[in-house]
Amino acid sequence: MGAEAVVLNKVFEILRKELSTEEYVTYHQVVTPRIGDATKELREKTKDLSLEGIINGAKKIEKKGR
């Protein structure tokens, strides 16, 4: 696992412990440039996901990028 992946895993662990699901989605909205109402779009897309589901999805995307 590369240094970036190690740091991201630590960040996700901290966020999972400290933020609500909505706060976690808002965090991603802040750090990810988007066009339009990103918060509304992310809420709609993730309304049925748990925080654990979001983290697992992010990890899958990270693995695909390698």
Cα separation values, 57 from 36, 39, 49, 60, Å: 23, 18, 10, 5
Tell me the pTM.
0.39
Q: How far apart, in whole angstroms, are the C-alpha atoms of residue 7 and residue 54?
A: 17
Q: Is the pLDDT of residue 44 over 80?
A: yes
Query: Tokens at residue 30, please?
Result: 């802040």
Quote the pLDDT of residue 47.
82
* Mean model confidence pLDDT for the chain: 81
